[in-house]
A and B are shown apart, each in its own frame.
Chain A
Amino acid sequence: MKKIITLKNVSKEYKTLNRREGLRGSFLDLFSRNYKIINAVNDISFEIKPGEKVGLLGPNGAGKSTAIKMMSGVLKPTGGEIFVNGVIPYENRTKNAENIGVVFGQRTQLWWALPLIESFKLLKDIYMIKNADYDNMMELYKSIIDLGPLLNKPVRQMSLGQRTLSDILASFLHNPKVVFLDEPTIGLDVSVKSKIRELILELNKNKNTTIILTTHDISDIDALCERAIIIDKGNKLYDNSLENLKKFFGSYRTLKVLFKKNEEWVDYLVNEDEQSVMQKLNEIAAQKKIVDIKIEEISTEDVIKKIYDGGIND
Chain B
Amino acid sequence: MIKRYLALTRIGIMRVIQWRGSLLITFAGNIVYLLIIYNIWRAIYSSSPAETVNGMTFTDTMVYLVLAMTIFNVLNIFIVWIMGEDIRSGQMVLDLIKPMSFRSYTFFSTLGGNIVQFFVVFVPTFIIVNIITGGAIAIGLNIFFFLISLFLAMIIFFFIEFAVGTLCFYTESVWGINIVKETMVLLLSGAMIPIAFFPAGFRNVVNYLPFQAIYNTPLRILTEEKMPLNNILQMLFVQLIWVAVFYIAGGLFWNISIKRITVNGG
Residues of A within 8 A of B (CB): 12, 14-15, 40, 66, 69, 72-76, 78, 90, 93-95, 97-98, 100, 102, 104, 107-109, 111, 113-114, 118, 121-122, 125-128
Q: For residues 248 through 266 of chain B, which have their beta carbon under 8 Å from a beta carbon of chain A?
A: 259, 262-266
User: Is B4 an interface residue, CB under 8 A from the partner?
Assistant: yes
Given the contacts A94-B101, A107-B93, A76 and B11 also touching, CB distance less than 8 Å: no
Contact B8 A126 (CB under 8 A): yes
Q: Which residue of A lies closest to B259 (CB)?
A: A76
**What are some 20 contacts across the A-B interface (CB < 8 A)?**
A14-B264, A14-B265, A15-B264, A72-B97, A73-B96, A75-B265, A75-B266, A78-B263, A94-B100, A94-B101, A97-B98, A104-B94, A111-B11, A113-B15, A113-B19, A114-B11, A114-B18, A125-B3, A126-B4, A126-B8
Contact A126 B99 (CB under 8 A): yes
Contact B7 A122 (CB under 8 A): yes
Distance of A6 from chain B, by nearest CB (Å): 19
Contact A74 B11 (CB under 8 A): no
Residues of B within 8 A of A (CB): 1, 3-4, 6-8, 11, 14-15, 18-19, 90-91, 93-94, 96-101, 259, 262-266
Give A118 to B264 CA distance when docked, in angstroms.
Answer: 35
Chain B contacts for A122, CB-based, 8 A: 7-8, 11
Give A93 to B94 CA distance when docked, in angstroms.
Answer: 12
Q: Mostly helix, strand, loop or mixed at chain A's interface?
A: mixed
Chain A contacts for B90, CB-based, 8 A: 107
Chain A contacts for B19, CB-based, 8 A: 113
Give A113 to B13 CA distance when docked, in angstroms.
Answer: 12
Q: Which residue of A lies closest to B5 (CB)?
A: A125
Contact A76 B15 (CB under 8 A): no
Contact A94 B15 (CB under 8 A): no
Q: Which residue of B lies closest to A66 (CB)?
A: B265
Partner of B7, one of A69, A114, A126: A126
Partner of B98, one of A12, A15, A114, A126: A126
Distance of A221 from chain B, by nearest CB (Å): 24
The 9 closest A-B pairs by CB, nearest first: A125-B7, A97-B99, A76-B262, A14-B265, A109-B94, A98-B99, A125-B4, A113-B18, A94-B99
Give A77 to B94 CA distance when docked, in angstroms.
Answer: 19
Contact A69 B15 (CB under 8 A): no
Q: Which of A75, A90, A95, A127 has the most CB of B within 10 A?
A: A75
Contact A74 B91 (CB under 8 A): no
Distance of A111 from chain B, by nearest CB (Å): 6
Give A75 to B265 CA distance when docked, in angstroms.
Answer: 7
Q: Which residue of B lies closest to A106 (CB)?
A: B90
Given contacts A93-B97, A122-B7, 19 further A-B contacts (CB under 8 A): A14-B264, A15-B264, A74-B96, A74-B266, A75-B265, A75-B266, A76-B262, A94-B99, A98-B99, A102-B94, A104-B93, A107-B90, A107-B94, A108-B94, A114-B18, A121-B7, A125-B4, A126-B7, A128-B1
Contact A76 B263 (CB under 8 A): yes
Chain A contacts for B100, CB-based, 8 A: 94, 97, 126
Give A126 to B102 CA distance when docked, in angstroms.
Answer: 12
Chain A contacts for B94, CB-based, 8 A: 102, 104, 107-109
Given the contacts A113-B15, A114-B14, A95 and B99 also touching, CB distance less than 8 Å: yes
Contact B101 A90 (CB under 8 A): no
Contact B11 A90 (CB under 8 A): no
Give A229 to B4 CA distance when docked, in angstroms.
Answer: 38
Give A26 to B14 CA distance when docked, in angstroms.
Answer: 44
Chain B contacts for A128, CB-based, 8 A: 1, 3-4
Partner of B99, one of A78, A104, A127: A127
